Amino acid sequence: KISGANFSIIKDLTIEDGGAIEDGKGEFGIYIINSFNTLVNSVHLFVDNSSSIMIVESNFTNITNNILVSLSNSIQLTASSFSLLNNNTIINGLPFDDPAKNVRSIYLVSGSSFNSVSNNRIISFSPNGFGIQLQGVFHNIFSDNNVTTLGDSGDALRLTSSSTFNNTFKNMFLLTAGDNANSLFVGSADHTLILLDSILFANSPASFDFEVGSFSNGGEWNFTNVSFSDKNWFAGANGSLNVHWYFETKVVDSLANPLQDVSVSAINAFGNNVFSLITDTSGNIPKQTLLEYNQLNGAQPVIFTDYILSYSRAGYISDTDPISLGMNRFIQKQLNVGSVPTVVIAAPSAQ
């Protein structure tokens, strides 16, 4: 147990259940409270009915390169911020666990914010075993995490109970195998999130890649380049889903040389201008993010595709292309030199 300490290091240890700490509310392999700048590195922690690591009202904690095996929560941050959870292997629960336990592999709660959670490998076996759960937290960044839940009702990523705001998820692989086990579940309260370059896959036909629970009060969920095939939106649930894809283009001439200074613009299906840009020396414009559809409060989606792309440059023949979204799009566009008008000067007639 680390309490009220600064710059502590827990490193190169093996901790088994006999070393668990009792705090009056439960047992923990490592318990950090009211502390600053604690490093937990290269620890092998094997606990039975205890949580692996509990962090309470502590900031700048670094949990890196650990192996955590537990039948209860693995890493819990309560009112703790500016911490790094990186490159940990987390194994939770047993297939025959009591579903009432609600085991969580990574659990951020009660205002835990500005944390970075990356490159973790999570496997949860328990029914009601959640991979990552957020509750009342904001401005956290999750990247390159691989989450697999095998039990029924085991969501891979779960936002519920208290509102969460401005949390970003990038390069996430979220897989579930059990029934009623959703890759991403947005539940009660308001939740705002950004999900980028990720895969949602619920293997059971009784589960969904994305589910909006009946007590969702609102929020905005921005997906960009996210692979998912189905969703379930409970009646009366509120919120706004925006599905985006990347668009890139390169403009070349008839010899496949890059064309600079080409004006490239796009309008959506409603005729609204989305961007107007100029190609650089490589013939490219900056990568764009285009909206495929918006779905509000479970109503029918509003479709913004197809887009019309326009290309023009002085001395070249202007051209247009339609693009339909539903995936990322790249277009290499060839512009051809315009024909030079022939000017004939007639000699004046004799007077």
CA distance 32 to 13: 16
| Intra-chain end-to-end CA distance of the chain, in Å | 113
pLDDT confidence of residue 135: 96
pLDDT confidence of residue 16: 82
The residues, ordered by sequence, that sit 6+ positions from 184 with a Cβ below 8 Å of its Cβ are: 155, 156, 157, 158, 174, 195, 200, 209, 210, 211, 228
CA distance 93 to 111: 26
0.85 surpassed by pTM: yes
CA distance 177 to 95: 12
- Residue 202 structure tokens: 């619920």
R_g (Cα) of the chain, nearest Å: 27
CA distance 218 to 192: 8
Give the model's confidence band at 5: pLDDT under 50 very low, under 70 low, under 90 confident, else very high: very high
Model confidence over 303-325: pLDDT tens digits?
A: 999 999 999 999 999 999 999 99
pLDDT confidence of residue 342: 52
Spatial CA neighbour of 132 closest among 93, 153, 106, 159: 106
Cβ 97 vs Cβ 129: under 8 Å: yes
Give the model's confidence band at 344: pLDDT under 50 very low, under 70 low, under 90 confident, else very high: low
Model confidence over 219-278: pLDDT tens digits?
A: 999 999 999 999 999 999 999 999 999 999 999 999 999 999 999 999 999 999 999 999
Cβ 150 vs Cβ 156: under 8 Å: no
CA distance 157 to 149: 10
Give the model's confidence band at 47: pLDDT under 50 very low, under 70 low, under 90 confident, else very high: confident
Mean pLDDT of 56-85: 95
Residue 228's SS3 state is coil
CA distance 143 to 120: 9
Query: Which comes out higher in pLDDT, residue 195 or 101?
Result: 195
